[in-house]
């Protein structure tokens, strides 16, 4: 009875710790396929938080490879030449729920989806995008996702730091304005994005955030979950040994 009384609340705390460890900020190089290809990543559990910093790698060095198991990608279809012919090394970001991401990626390209505009860089293609929920949490406690869309004909490499639990900006954390303003419903998949063809992309080429060594979603998250559970199991074994010695 004494062991049970200590073990149950400890297991609850340990489970929560494992989930937090699985969603620690992740940094890495990722590739977004051209012709409206999509790179995406989602939280492992319901959350009202997301923080990310994206930088396009303008001149990828020879042999650059995406970080293994970092997000997942969907190949694009032929883009509209009127909107993509003059675009190069730029991306769009959509912050959305998992349900809306599934609609965005639907094979028939006709499903409706919504995004949070203030947590996205969707008005025009960009080379840099910093967004942070900060103190103004999202309305819905659900699986949250980030979708990065490539409206250019060629693949684009990016450097990305992302977290669904804490700010990736450390002491420079901020709150994006109007976080909970939901965008209007959009019909159609990623390759039906309405791009402002006459608007030049953002020219901000700030140095990319730190990333792990050269580098699709489930396997990456699974690896961090296993690390988290390894800590939990070790702690449980230690607790049992401690109680057994009493």
Global pTM value: 0.70
Residue 229 within any structural domain of the chain: no
Residue 16 within any structural domain of the chain: no
Residue 114 within any structural domain of the chain: yes
Residue 164 within any structural domain of the chain: yes
Residue 19 within any structural domain of the chain: no
pLDDT value of residue 176: 85
pLDDT band at 237 (very low <50, low <70, confident <90, very high): low
Domain span including residue 36: 25-216
Residue 223 within any structural domain of the chain: no
Residues with Cβ < 8 Å from 88, sequence gap 6 or more?
Answer: 152, 154
pLDDT value of residue 11: 46
- Let me know: does 173 contact 167? Beta carbons within 8 Å: yes
Residue 245 within any structural domain of the chain: no
pLDDT value of residue 1: 46
Residue 41 within any structural domain of the chain: yes
What percent of the chain is predicted at pLDDT more than 90? 47
**Range scoring the smallest mean pLDDT among 84-98, 123-137, 139-153:** 84-98
- Average pLDDT for residues 214-235, to the nearest whole number? 45
pLDDT band at 37 (very low <50, low <70, confident <90, very high): very high
Which regions of the chain does DSSP assign to beta strands (E)?
A: 26-32, 37-42, 51-56, 72-74, 91-97, 112-113, 121-126, 128-132, 144-150, 156-163, 186-187
Q: How many domains does the chain have?
A: 1
């Amino acid at each position: 009875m004494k062991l049970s009384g200590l073990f149950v609340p400890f297991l609850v705390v340990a489970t929560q710790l494992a989930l937090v460890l699985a969603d620690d900020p992740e940094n890495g190089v990722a590739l977004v396929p051209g012709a409206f290809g999509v790179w995406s990543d989602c939280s492992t559990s319901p959350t009202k938080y997301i923080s990310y910093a994206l930088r396009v790698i303008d001149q990828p060095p020879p042999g650059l490879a995406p970080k293994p198991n970092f997000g997942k990608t969907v190949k694009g279809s032929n883009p509209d030449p009127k909107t993509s012919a003059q675009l190069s090394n730029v991306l769009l970001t959509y912050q959305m729920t998992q349900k809306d991401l599934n609609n965005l990626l639907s094979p028939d390209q006709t499903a409706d989806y919504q995004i949070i505009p203030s947590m996205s860089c969707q008005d025009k293609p960009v080379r840099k995008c910093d967004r942070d929920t900060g103190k103004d949490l999202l309305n819905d406690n659900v699986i949250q996702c980030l979708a990065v869309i490539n409206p250019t004909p060629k693949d684009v490499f990016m450097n990305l730091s992302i977290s669904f639990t804490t700010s990736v900006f450390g002491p420079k954390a901020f709150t994006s304005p109007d976080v909970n303003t939901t965008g209007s419903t959009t019909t159609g998949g990623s390759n039906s994005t309405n791009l402002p063809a006459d608007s030049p992309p953002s020219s901000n080429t700030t140095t990319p955030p730190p990333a792990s060594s050269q580098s699709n979603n489930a396997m990456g998250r699974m690896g961090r979950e296993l690390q988290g559970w390894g800590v939990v199991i070790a702690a449980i074994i230690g607790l049992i040994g401690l109680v057994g010695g009493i």
